Amino acid sequence: MPETNMLEKLTHKLAIKNEMIREGLAEALSTFLLMLFGNGSVAQAVLGRQNFGTFLSINLGYGFGVMMGIHAAGGISGAHMNAAITSANCVVGNLPWRKLPAYVIGQFLGSFIASATVFLMYYDALMDYAGGNLTVTGPTATAGIFATYPAPYMSLWRGFLHEFISTAVLVIGILAIHDKRNAAALPGTNALTIGLLVAGIGMSMGMNTGYAINPSRDLPPRIFTALAGWGLEVFTAGNCWWWVPVVAPILGSVVGIFIYNIFIDFHNRPLMEPDSGNEKGKQNVELVVSTELQNRM
């Protein structure tokens, strides 16, 4: 009985009631899982010299990471794990702008800590692989385990376009998977389905730019590598590539929402009298701007 009371009190002490902090924590944990599975699978393919992983296992690693992240935070924050999706949600009015910082800080922290964890877990392998040299380019480059770099043949603007289109496709897919007025995935299976969507993007649009399609997946690991020994070349490499996976996905997300609306959703809403001004009219307007882009179940 006394123990029970102590536990009750402890729970009440530890329980955070602030919704924004709770959502930030959820984004941190889910992005941590995404990045641990994702970057871990790249580390294994690179450092294992293709004997313990291939581009396919990298695609599946990010896919299963997304799946686990959605299970870990979908019911709390919507499991964005992606600053582009968070900002797109703010743009279309799904998420109040004041919540944006909590989401992005959570995602960046989770992503940064996951990079440090992969570094920690693979440190001996890293040392063994390149004899202690942490390089961004060259035959034993390892910076690509953490952040993305464009293929040598890619021009900057086409890389931008690539990330822009890939992210639009990601967002179209997420919207379709959740669209209950269309052919949504069965509730409770959308984590798997979105995971396979991300795996599919990696298999078909992954080679040229490394498919960041997500600022939270790319920038914090890049900062980590800058601090951990790879140096500032991580920002200058690829013709100063670093800002592309930050900016292009944000624009691509918004355009993805627009495309899904133009092709499907605008024409598929419950019909409503215009200018009625009543509650139902408001509800309709809300539908206009609140296409589901979160993984809330």
Contacts of a copy of itself in 131-190 (CB under 8 A) = 151, 153-155, 158, 161-162, 165, 169, 172-173, 176-177, 179, 181-189
Helices (H), the chain: 2-14, 19-47, 55-73, 83-91, 100-121, 123-130, 156-178, 190-205, 215-225, 233-240, 244-263, 279-289
Q: Does 238 contact a copy of itself by CB under 8 A?
A: no
Q: Which stretch binds a copy of itself (CB under 8 A): 49-57, 140-148, 220-228, 241-249?
A: 49-57
Amino acid at site 279: E
Contacts of a copy of itself in 262-291 (CB under 8 A) = 262-264, 266-269, 272, 274-275, 277, 281-282, 284-285, 288-289
**Residue 37 burial (C-beta neighbours within 10 Å; 0-12, 13-18, 19+):** buried
Q: Does 193 contact a copy of itself by CB under 8 A?
A: yes
Phi/psi at 97 (5° precision): -55, -30
Which value, to the nearest 10 degrees, does the dihedral of the CA atoms of residues 17, 20, 24, 26 take? 50
Residue closer to a copy of itself, measured from CB, 65 or 245: 65
Q: How far is the CB of 47 from a copy of itself (least distance, A)?
A: 7
Contacts of a copy of itself in 56-115 (CB under 8 A) = 56-57, 59-61, 64-65, 67-68, 70-76, 79
* Nearest alpha-carbon partner for 144 in 131, 154, 134, 129: 134
Contacts of a copy of itself in 17-36 (CB under 8 A) = 17, 22, 25-26, 28-29, 33, 36
